[in-house]
Amino acid sequence: MMLRSIINITIREWKRILTLPEHCIVLLLLPPLVCFLYGYIYHKQFARELPVAIWDESNSPLSRKFTFMLEQTESIHITQQIHNEATIEQLMQRGVIQGAIHFPARMDDHIKSRQPIYVTLYTNTAAVVTGKLIYKDAAKVLITAGSGVILQKLMKTGMPQGKAMALVQPIRLTSYLLYNPQFSYLQYLVPGLIAVALQMMVIMVTVLALNLEAQRGTLPELTVMANGSASSVLLGKGLAHLSVGWLHYILVTAIVYPVFAGGRMGGSWALFTLFTLLIMGCISIGFMVSAIVSDVMVACDLGLFYTSPAFVFSGFTFPRWAMPWYDQYYAWLMPFTPFLDGFFKVYFMELPLHYVYKETGQLLIYIVITFPLALFFLQRRMNKLKLQHA
């Protein structure tokens, strides 16, 4: 009997999802749009060919060689030749250049006469992404070039190449940038942005799942259908929303992640488990708000204020440990935070489920706390309704 009413409520909820614009647009129309937009924004993966000026007071073979090497890098594109520091500032303020490199006068002569020289790199770090990219490439070129100069000097003294090389770089650091070796923005940002958008969508709809019924006068019909049982309502509606969540999972793991972000087709069992727990957590939280707050607009605003900060607080772009303690606590109010920690492991690092036991446990806490609260408040409302009708 209960099972039948749950199934009926699930079917009814699916019909509501398909027909109510407040549900249909957010759950079915927006996800593909948002997914493709995010994928498309970072389509080029890297910021390339950033405008950089050269201030060459040396005008020597060496400075020209360095300039050529800088131009060969991915992020640097030499667009201007300038003649003083003031121009660098002016051009940066007008957004014409993002960086500049200065070669001092008589650079070659100084090197030959054992005078260390300083090549200056200026970056407009008000835009930190471009500033860091230019620094990374310029530093690589200038360190390599500097090492070349040392190598030549040592070999001129008659030292064999192997030994000279060992002195140029006595400690050879081999760096492995695991899971995103090229620091691709596409690979890094898109999966997380999409996950946060999906959790927002689920919460923004489920905060309306119960109070909208009351506002539109359909709650008595639902109560009858559920035989007055709040658990049947929540389970029936929850199943419908969970199945929509699985559709989202198919969309992102079968199309968006593989096509746009180089992800594995279909994801993995561990990712599916983690995603399901996130969706269940979001559904429970949404139901709880919807059962407690009867004004749909206020519930919608609560959903908005609750979900909007999830991305920045989760530590995706700026690590949580670098935030003040109260922000770190606040981050734990949102299920996206443990999800993200687990997501790094199962999606990017492709680790099996046992590595995310802590995160799955944390996600379960959201469900265990909010679902009973939703149940309690809804049952109270349904009982009141019953009494009114009696």
Nearest alpha-carbon partner for 350 in 178, 230, 217, 231: 178
End-to-end Cα separation, the chain, in angstroms: 23
- Please state the φ and ψ torsions of residue 326, each to the nearest 5 degrees: -65, -30
Q: Is there binding between residue 108 and other proteins (CB under 8 A)?
A: no
Contacts with other proteins by CB under 8 A: the residue count is: 115
Q: How many residues would you count in the chain?
A: 390
Q: 3-state class of 44 per DSSP?
A: coil
Distance of CA 74 to the CA centre of its chain: 24
Select 174 or 388, whichever has its Cβ closest to other proteins: 174
Please report, as residue ranges, which positions from 6 to 65 form the binding site for other proteins (by CB under 8 A). Answer: 21-22, 25-26, 30, 34, 37-38, 40-44, 46-50
| Helix (H), strand (E) at residue 278 | helix 269-292
Binding mask 66-105 for other proteins (x = CB under 8 A): -----------------------xx-xxxx----------
Select 23 or 237, whichever has its Cβ closest to other proteins: 23
Binding mask 196-235 for other proteins (x = CB under 8 A): xx--xx--x---x---------------------------
Binding mask 310-329 for other proteins (x = CB under 8 A): -xxx---xxx-xxxx-xx--
Q: Shortest distance, CB of residue 229 to other proteins, whole angstroms? A: 28
Q: Is there binding between residue 173 and other proteins (CB under 8 A)?
A: yes
- Please state the φ and ψ torsions of residue 177, each to the nearest 5 degrees: -95, 90
Q: Which of the 8 DSSP states describes residue 317?
A: S
Q: Shortest distance, CB of residue 295 to other proteins, whole angstroms? A: 7
Q: Which amino acid is at 265?
A: M
Q: Shortest distance, CB of residue 251 to other proteins, whole angstroms? A: 16
Please report, as residue ranges, which positions from 275 to 304 form the binding site for other proteins (by CB under 8 A). Answer: 295-298, 300-301, 304
Q: Is there binding between residue 188 and other proteins (CB under 8 A)?
A: yes
Residue 313 buriedness (CB in 10 A; 0-12 / 13-18 / 19+): buried
